[in-house]
Structure formats: C-alpha cells, structure tokens
Amino acid sequence: MRTVIIGSGAGGLTTASTIRKYNKDMEIFVITREKYIAYSPCALPYVIANEIPSFEDIIMHTPEDYKKNKNINIITESNVIDIDSNNNEITYCSNKSMNPKDDKDNNNDNEDNNNKENNKDTDNNFKMTLNYDYLVIATGGLPFIPPIEGRDLEGVFALKTIEDGMRIKKYAENSKNAIVAGAGAIGLEMAYALKKLGLQVTIVEMAPQVLPRALDIDMAKKVMNYLTEDLGIKVLLEKPLGKILGDENNRVKGAIIDDEIYNCDMVIMATGTRPNVELARKAGCEIGRFAIKVNSKMQTTIPNIYAVGDCVETRDYITKQITLSPFGTTALRQGKVAGKNIAGVPAEFNPVLNAMVSKIGDIEVGGTGMSELRAHQNRLEVVVGKSKAFTRARYYPGGKNIYIKLIFDMNKTIIGCQIVGGERVSERIDAMSLGILKNITCEDLSNMEFCYAPPVSMVVDPIALAAEDAYDKFNRL
C-alpha cells in the first residue's frame, strides 16, 4: 500500500508522520515544490525581526531525517502537474532550477497562474508518475495579491515560504521605508519586524481596524495604540493601496494611498491567502464554497483522496457554517485525522473556533470563537463582559496590563473571547476555547476556581472579572 502526499507543510508532514505512527508498512511519499521542508512559516516574521537568530533555526527536520527516522520519502523541488484519479496516479516533475529565476517566479509574483506556469516551465523536464492507494492533497494556500498597478515591481513581496523571508530580509537591509498592505496578524508581525530593523513603516488596511478577522474594533484599538504610540508605526485605516510606483530600474519607489503619494522602498503584501485547489479540481474532487470539500475524516468526494490544511474548507463551531481555517495548527490537527483514517484508526476533525494568537513586540493578542461584530452579522444577540486588569498582583513589579472581552449568547454561554495584554494571553485563549467547546456560562466562569500566586496572577482572575461584568449585565436586562 502506498500513500502519496502533495505538500510538505504542517498538514502534509503531519499526515505522513501519523500514518507511520499507526502503520509501519505503508509506503509514504511526500512531493513538495519547496526546497526546505518542516519549517515554521509562522516564525518568519520573527526571524526577519532578528528575534530568532537565523532562518536555519526554524527548519526542524531535513528530508533525510524523515527517511532515516520514519521511512518517509520526501521528493523536494518537484511539482505535481496532474492527478489521474481514475488510475490512482499522479504525474510530477522536478523543478530543481536549471534557471535560478524559477524559484523566485514560482514563489512570489505569479501565484495565480502557478500551475499553468509550472506546466509550461516544466514541459522540457522529465515527467515522472507515481501511483497511489491513498492520495493526500495538502497544497496549502497561495498569497493573494490584489491586481493593482506595480505589483510586479522589484521590492514587492508576499511572505509565504522561507525563501520569501530570506529575500525580504535581504531587501530590507538596503531599505528605509516600507509599506505593509494588510493589518492581519502577518501584516502586524511584519510591520513590527521591519520597524525593528530600523525602517519607517506604514500599514495600510481597507477595514476600519487592525486585525479585522480576529478582534472587534474596541479591542483592536488597544493594539492600534500600541502600534502607533509605542512602536511609532503609521497605520492608515479604511484605505486601499491604490498603486505601487517604480523607478527607472523597476524598483519600488513609492505607493499611492488615497490619492496621496507615500515614498517607500518596499511593499509587503500581507493581503491574505487563497486556498490552492487547482490540483484537487483537476483530480475531480468537489470544490465547495471556498475550498476543497472534505468530510469529518478529511476525505474529499473521491474516497481515497484526502485533503488537509489551507486548501480545504471546514465548519465554524458556533455558526455551523462553512469557513476557512488557515492556521498551521488546524493543518496539523487535520493531518492527524487524515493520517489516522488512512491507517485505519477512526478519527474525526471537529468544527473550528479559529483560535489565534500573535506576539507583536511586547504585546500578545489573541482571539477565539465569535466576535461581537460577527455575532451581529449573524443576527445573534449577545452580552459582552470586559475587564481591564493586570497579569500579576497589582503590587507585584513587572505586571502588565491585560484587556479581556468575553462574548456570551443569551443562554449566558460563552461563544467568544478576545485578549490583548503584555503576557499570559495564549493559555487564557486556550482556556476560553475549552470553555466555548464545553458550553461554560458566565456564572460558571465568574465563580470558577482559578489558581493564584502574586507573581503570576491577580487574586481575582481577569477572566472572572470579565465574566462578572457580563453576569451583572445579564442581571440588569
């Protein structure tokens, strides 16, 4: 029996390792366009910021490690160009660059046309086929670059692969001014990184707030204050990046935002990703509203083809609607489910809360479940509890501010949580994710037993304070 996995991100490699954990005999192949595997894309902004010493540090394993330790075969720098699902066979070819420019082209500018490009580029290369019993599509997402003028200029970057990170860092060394388009987590992390390297940084965002997917506007304002006042980053909200301007060498020299010219040497497109579903479509897998359709076993509509990670759609835990969950942790958990099922161990992937956390300079920002705004959009009435507190006892030196927002439905059950603070945010988000999954109420939370010691918490936990605030509001209804 053989499983072929397309893609070496968290989803693909976790599928491979999970199959091996439960099945010692399965032949496992992973085919990837990338040269480096098993690195953490989430870490890239922190390497650029010099908070992690080098790009090598974030590469956890080599293809040789996988072969040696787990008998998993990894074929790098290779494009899968076709899937023949009737004959259970894929066709791929190596893209090990005869032309060194390939690498850049594939990973940066022309993502939308990637597969077509690859076909063209690689027609001259030797095509290989590999048959499979199970196929796993883990083709991830592709950076979405809005079709604006100047997007092909030198100095315009998206951040997806480790090689993108290397290019950005190198380019930043000779730059003074950067514009970051998009104020999601990656946008903010990149803005901080470039600022830390000494650049002047401007963020431009279409929404009326930073972190529009993760936070409500009230919580986003705390982050906004930190960015502008503490870090000195300029943030332009409700503005589109209109056009990127180039000099005579086709290098970025500025951008037009809201009819105003901003000088800059580089532009980071942190404008999101789109599920990469082309191969799945070719194979005949059904594509859903946003991405590849899978069942709770991570099976596509073709039973021996699974799909995991940024290229699939999933279900929102609260609304039960179809959604995307483009997080490394989601890919990893889906890989575990796909791997188990392929190995014959029953497992199901559950609907997601899209819990997230980011560290931007000295603050941590996290969110899970439903925001107040999204609740309103779903015509769901909610009551919100908030607290402004400290991460340690008030008198304990080094304590940081922490802002908590809890969102409850009219049954007093928690459906969302957002936290901005100087420390100790991520585990609180996890606790509230657990609370959402287990239908905890504001009364439960306000009375809950929290552990306490002055250096690590307040005697009344900030979560309990926020829950008490909601409890009081419910009582006043």
Active site residues: 42
> Backbone phi, then psi, for 42, in 5-degree steps?
-60, -20
Give the Å distances, CA to CA, from 13 to 135, 161, 260, 328: 13, 16, 46, 11
Q: How far is CA 196 from the centre of its chain?
A: 22
> Candidates 73-81, 147-155, 163-171, 344-352 — which segment interacts with its own copies by CB under 8 A?
344-352
Contact 290, 275 (CB under 8 A): yes
Contacting its own copies (CB under 8 A), which of 13, 28, 37, 43? 43
What's the chain's length in residues? 477
# of chain residues touching its own copies (CB under 8 A): 67
> Backbone phi, then psi, for 6, in 5-degree steps?
-100, 110
Cα separation, 300 vs 159, in Å, equals 28
Interaction of residue 456 with its own copies, rule CB under 8 A: yes
Task: State in angstroms the smallest separation of the CB of 199 from its own copies.
Answer: 21
Interaction of residue 381 with its own copies, rule CB under 8 A: no
Contacting its own copies (CB under 8 A), which of 12, 366, 385, 416? 366
Cα separation, 180 vs 39, in Å, equals 24
Contacting its own copies (CB under 8 A), which of 397, 411, 476, 477? 397
Task: State in angstroms the smallest separation of the CB of 52 from its own copies.
Answer: 6
Task: State in angstroms the smallest separation of the CB of 87 from its own copies.
Answer: 35
Which of 42, 32, 26 has the alpha carbon at shortest distance from 12?
32
Task: State in angstroms the smallest separation of the CB of 459 from its own copies.
Answer: 6
Site for its own copies in 269-308 (CB under 8 A): none
Cα separation, 238 vs 205, in Å, equals 6
Contacting its own copies (CB under 8 A), which of 393, 401, 413, 473? 393
Contacting its own copies (CB under 8 A), which of 64, 229, 449, 476? 449
> Candidates 152-160, 232-240, 326-334, 371-379 — which segment interacts with its own copies by CB under 8 A?
326-334
| Tokens 């304590």 found at | 399
Counting Cα atoms < 13 Å in the Cβ hemisphere of 143 gives: 27
Task: State in angstroms the smallest separation of the CB of 36 from its own copies.
Answer: 13
> Amino acid identity of 62?
T
Q: Helix or strand or coil: residue 260? A: strand
Contacting its own copies (CB under 8 A), which of 25, 126, 395, 476? 395
444's tokens: 């439960």
Q: Residue 42 or residue 166: which is nearer to its own copies going by CB? A: 42
Binding track over 12-41 against its own copies, x by CB under 8 A:
----------------------------x-
Interaction of residue 329 with its own copies, rule CB under 8 A: yes
Name the E strands within 183-229. Answer: 200-204
Task: State in angstroms the smallest separation of the CB of 357 from its own copies.
Answer: 4
Interaction of residue 455 with its own copies, rule CB under 8 A: yes
Task: State in angstroms the smallest separation of the CB of 388 from its own copies.
Answer: 17
Which residues lie closer than 8 Å to 138 by C-beta, 6 or more apart?
5, 6, 7, 8, 9, 11, 12, 15, 307, 308, 309, 311, 331, 335
Q: What is the DSSP letter of 226?
A: I
Site for its own copies in 424-443 (CB under 8 A): 424-431, 433-435, 437-438, 440
Instruction: State the DSSP H helix or E strand holding residue 25, giving kind and residue range, or none if neither.
Output: none
Task: Taking each helix axis as running N to C, give the angle between helix 328-342 and helix 10-22, from 0 to 180 degrees, rounded to the nearest 10.
Answer: 30
Task: State in angstroms the smallest separation of the CB of 437 from its own copies.
Answer: 7
Interaction of residue 357 with its own copies, rule CB under 8 A: yes
| Tokens 């009819």 found at | 259
Contacting its own copies (CB under 8 A), which of 69, 113, 350, 378? 350
Beta partners for residue 179, in sequence order: 202, 267
Q: Distance between the two ends of the chain, CA-based, in angstroms?
A: 62
* Chain residues in the site for its own copies (CB under 8 A): 10, 40, 42-43, 46, 51-53, 57-58, 60, 185, 327-330, 332-333, 336-337, 347, 350, 352-353, 355-359, 364, 366, 368, 393-397, 424-431, 433-435, 437-438, 440, 444, 447-457, 459-461, 463
